[in-house]
A and B are shown apart, each in its own frame.
Chain A
Amino acid sequence: NAGVMQNPRHLVRRRGQEARLRCSPVKGHSHVYWYRQLPEEGLKFMVYLQKENIIDESGMPKERFSAEFPKEGPSILRIQQVVRGDSAAYFCASSPSGTGDNEQFFGPGTRLTVL
């Protein structure tokens, strides 16, 4: 019974390149969330998606960041033209429902380093 899978675990990009982070939720979960953790900080909500729909992207920067959760395949968080300030750990979580009163299961994270 696989949990949330994320890849790659580590990603190094130079300034100006694109970063693509992938997340496969727990089997049967249709609700996916992305969080970002900066050094010495807690996790900050970025975006909440269901299959083929973005439900809440209020925590995501307006520029350079986008997310999708297609009908088939993993959820993707895409960061275009990365800058040093994008260096962080990006965590994906999933839940079986979206009512806000159930736990979210987290993946191991992708650690993005921008040189």
Chain B
Amino acid sequence: DQQVKQNSPSLSVQEGRISILNCDYTNSMFDYFLWYKKYPAEGPTFLISISSIKDKNEDGRFTVFLNKSAKHLSLHIVPSQPGDSAVYFCAASYYGNNRLAFGKGNQVVVIP
């Protein structure tokens, strides 16, 4: 069963605008959430994470928001740059369980 869900598989955005990626999860035990970025033929690269004790974490152009009651998180990229064109995966885990559960990914295309 898919415990981490990413709908809207692709997103096109103009350079300089905001990209917003959404992720929903079903397992209430998840308490750590990560976003990974992946280019074709490469492995996923860690982008940003958030613990369930927070509702927001910011790192440069990337901000992740967590809404525990809705079991929803989102990644905001602003301003979007052409180099941000990639597939973005949402992942989740919980303390004591080391496996990451991944969503299916969102393809982001930033148009120059």
Evaluate contact between B103 and A48: CB separation under 8 angstroms: no
Within 8 A of A (CB), among B1-39: 4, 6, 31-32, 34, 36
Within 8 A of B (CB), among A1-30: 4, 6
Known A-B contacts A100-B32, A100-B94, A100-B95; the reply to A105 vs B100 at CB < 8 A is: no
Taking CB as reference atom, which chain A residue is nearest B42?
A108
Shortest C-beta distance, B103 to chain A (Å), equals 5
Residues of A within 8 A of B31 (CB): 101
Evaluate contact between A109 and B43: CB separation under 8 angstroms: yes
Evaluate contact between A101 and B43: CB separation under 8 angstroms: no
Shortest C-beta distance, B62 to chain A (Å), equals 14
Evaluate contact between B93 and A101: CB separation under 8 angstroms: yes
A104 vs B51: C-alpha distance in the bound complex, in angstroms? 15
Evaluate contact between A106 and B45: CB separation under 8 angstroms: yes
Known: A35-B102, A43-B100, A43-B102. 10 other contacts (CB 8 A): A42-B4, A42-B6, A44-B102, A45-B99, A59-B99, A95-B98, A99-B95, A104-B46, A106-B43, A109-B41
